[in-house]
């Protein structure tokens, strides 16, 4: 009970009683260790009460991490100009001996822990520490992962209240509760109340003790422990326990006669993930992270979170009506790294005239302003964000969001930005074929607007590569085995919203995705037939023609269909060769991967021999 005695001496009576009430010895020890290390001058323990949440919101204003905007409930937060995204270079997965793993930035565990402890010693001196209790996934459910966040940033604490389910009472009612742990300090702040010592910015992921550390950073992707830091821990735990923790939206697609079918979807950034799950007329459950477990023989899924931390660039009234509506109501919203002019937020691509002066992530801003590297500074950062509660969205499926056993998963969708290879929608032959040829083979082209050179294909297994914490081969083995445990696993689909013709014109309109979704919904119930091709099942023209009329009131011609669904054999064979080369350079890859690549290559070559390089879908009828 030494830890409890220490806490009694460090916390004031009211805060101590909140901690003592949990009767959780592991919690006492965790708190004592990191309070002693970080040495805050003040400590606040947040229960599930509205008063405690309001205290933290007010602290964010008082400490200058957020400022009030003109619309009631709206605040602005700025990160340091050079602290605007996840710091991949200084994010380390700790391994026992610093073993190198494909695509992972690893560090020897002893060295990593020693370094972060040195950086964090006395880092909270003169600051207030917030102790927070949350649940990843619905509380008191088979999906629940309890979590404790320590942070000296009221902005980070405020954000977590909007994004996750409060769980202090869960700890009080379960004294032996095991939990994930997150320790963050923004470090010393500059005159704009942004993190100063970016050379000592570190994000450390310790899988062994299920704890993450973040220091000298405020950007939410580095600091909100329950978001991407936790994601690395849950991926590793899922692999160990035989379930899936995925970078996937969760949505309900409305089918005939009031039926709802639930789908998850994994897309790299800027590939349609948000616009798909936010479609008008469908049901939003979550936009980013999903847990998938087998319950009573079914694959069931939940949204890990309770809110949205979304990219705001390009959000406009026409393309994103639900988000636009949410962002313009007087309710609790944190805008980050946008332009503020006369108390109102503005961002790139919003479809309105943007003032030529104001304040943004660079400080005072004017049109044509350049940074010290000579780069012109846009009104808002390309990674500027909005943080809101899911309950604000008019298309939220509240029942699905809070269902303790999640929702039955009918299908999984994998997408990427691909101008010349994949058709708009394709269903895999089976679980194994889908996991490997649709999910594990994702490539996405970079865009000139955001990443410099256009059209560079980047490999991104399941759109999860940036957050991977285990060997890719082990992750894939778990995926394949997961499907084998199910009598009727979810159907797997690939989509591509970015196919172009020979003149560089898009072959799909922005809203066509609604038709692909409706087709997938019918397929999972075997209510429409499909054409068998070397790469999987394609929709029949007659079914799509009917859906385009019914869903979009649009005529859909045979010529449009044929252009979109032509099998581009040379491009597909090139893709197989690229994917084979990527996995061929690794050890420990499941042999099924190479078997699927070989089998698809064989089917394509046989088809090529029979029909030529570019094969009309009508050839397979």
Buried b (16+ CB within 10 A) or exposed e, 407-422: bbbbbbbbbbbbbbbb
The two counts, helices (H) then strands (E), for the chain are 20, 33
Instruction: List the Cα angle 425/428/429 in 5-degree steps.
Output: 140
Q: Phi and psi for 543 in degrees, rounded to 5? A: -70, -45
Cβ 611 vs Cβ 535: under 8 Å: no
Residue 46 carries which DSSP code? Answer: -
| Cβ contacts of 234 within 8 Å, gap of 6 or more | 136, 145, 245, 291, 304
CA distance 316 to 323: 8
Host H or E run for residue 150: strand 145-151
Tell me the CA distances in angstroms from 372 to 80, 193, 216, 375, 458, one per residue in order: 14, 20, 21, 7, 30
Q: Please, which residues bridge with residue 49 across strands?
A: none
Host H or E run for residue 433: helix 431-433
Half-sphere exposure of 180 (CA within 13 A, CB side): 27
Cβ 184 vs Cβ 225: under 8 Å: yes
- Residues marked as catalytic: 271
CA distance 290 to 267: 13
| Cβ contacts of 556 within 8 Å, gap of 6 or more | 544, 545, 548, 549
Q: Please, which residues bridge with residue 290 across strands?
A: 246, 303
């Amino acid at each position: 009970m030494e830890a409890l005695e220490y806490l009694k001496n460090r916390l004031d009576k009211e805060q101590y009683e909140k901690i003592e009430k949990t009767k959780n010895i592991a919690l006492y020890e965790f708190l004592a260790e990191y309070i002693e290390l970080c040495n805050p001058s003040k400590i606040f323990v947040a229960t599930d009460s509205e008063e405690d949440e309001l205290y933290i919101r007010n602290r964010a204003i008082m400490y200058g991490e957020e400022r009030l905007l003109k619309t009631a409930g709206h605040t602005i937060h700025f990160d340091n100009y050079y602290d605007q995204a996840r710091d991949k270079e200084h994010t380390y997965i700790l391994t026992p001996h610093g073993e190198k793993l494909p695509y992972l930035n690893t560090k020897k565990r002893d060295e990593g822990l020693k370094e972060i402890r040195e950086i964090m010693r006395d880092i909270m001196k003169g600051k207030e520490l917030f102790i927070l209790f949350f649940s990843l996934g619905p509380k008191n459910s088979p999906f629940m992962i309890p979590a404790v966040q320590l942070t000296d940033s009221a902005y980070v604490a405020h954000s977590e209240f909007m994004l996750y389910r409060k769980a202090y009472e869960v700890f009080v009612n379960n004294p032996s509760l095991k939990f994930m742990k997150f320790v963050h300090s923004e470090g010393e702040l500059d005159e704009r109340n942004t993190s100063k010592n970016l050379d000592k910015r570190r994000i450390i992921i310790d899988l062994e003790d299920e704890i993450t550390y973040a220091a000298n950073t405020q950007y939410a992707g580095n600091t909100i422990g329950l978001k991407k830091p936790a994601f690395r821990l849950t991926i590793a735990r899922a692999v160990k326990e035989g379930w899936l923790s995925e970078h996937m939206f969760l949505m309900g697609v409305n089918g005939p006669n009031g039926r709802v079918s639930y789908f998850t979807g994994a897309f790299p950034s800027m590939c349609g993930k948000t616009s798909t799950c936010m479609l008008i007329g469908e049901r939003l459950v979550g936009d980013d992270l999903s847990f998938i477990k087998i319950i009573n023989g079914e694959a069931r899924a939940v949204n890990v979170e309770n809110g949205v931390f979304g990219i705001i660039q390009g959000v406009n009234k026409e393309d994103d009506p639900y988000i636009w509506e949410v962002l313009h109501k007087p309710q609790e919203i944190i805008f980050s790294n946008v332009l503020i002019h006369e108390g109102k937020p503005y961002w790139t691509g919003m479809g309105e005239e943007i003032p030529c002066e104001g304040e943004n992530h660079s400080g005072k801003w004017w049109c044509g302003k350049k940074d010290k590297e000579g780069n012109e500074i846009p009104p808002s950062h390309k990674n500027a964000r909005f943080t809101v509660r899911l309950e604000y969205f008019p298309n939220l499926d509240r029942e699905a969001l809070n269902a303790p056993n999640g929702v039955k998963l009918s299908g999984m969708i994998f997408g990427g930005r691909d101008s010349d290879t994949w058709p708009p929608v394709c269903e895999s032959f089976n679980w194994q074929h889908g996991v490997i040829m649709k999910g594990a083979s994702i490539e996405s082209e970079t865009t000139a607007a955001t990443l410099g050179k256009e059209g560079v294909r980047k490999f991104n297994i399941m759109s999860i590569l940036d957050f991977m914490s285990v060997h890719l081969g082990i992750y894939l083995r778990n995926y394949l085995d997961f499907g084998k445990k199910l009598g009727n696993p979810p159907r797997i689909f690939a989509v591509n919203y970015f196919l172009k013709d020979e003149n560089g014109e898009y072959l799909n309109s922005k809203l066509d995705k609604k038709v692909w979704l409706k087709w997938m919904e019918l397929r999972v119930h075997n209510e429409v037939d499909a054409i068998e091709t070397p790469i999987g099942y394609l929709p029949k023209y007659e079914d799509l023609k009917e859906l385009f009329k019914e869903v979009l009131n649009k005529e859909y011609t045979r010529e449009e269909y044929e252009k979109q669904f032509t099998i581009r054999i040379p491009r597909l064979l090139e893709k197989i060769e690229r994917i084979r080369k990527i996995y061929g350079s690794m050890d420990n890859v499941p042999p099924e991967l190479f078997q699927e690549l070989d089998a698809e290559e064989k089917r394509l070559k046989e088809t090529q021999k029979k029909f030529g390089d570019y094969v009309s879908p009508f050839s397979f009828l």
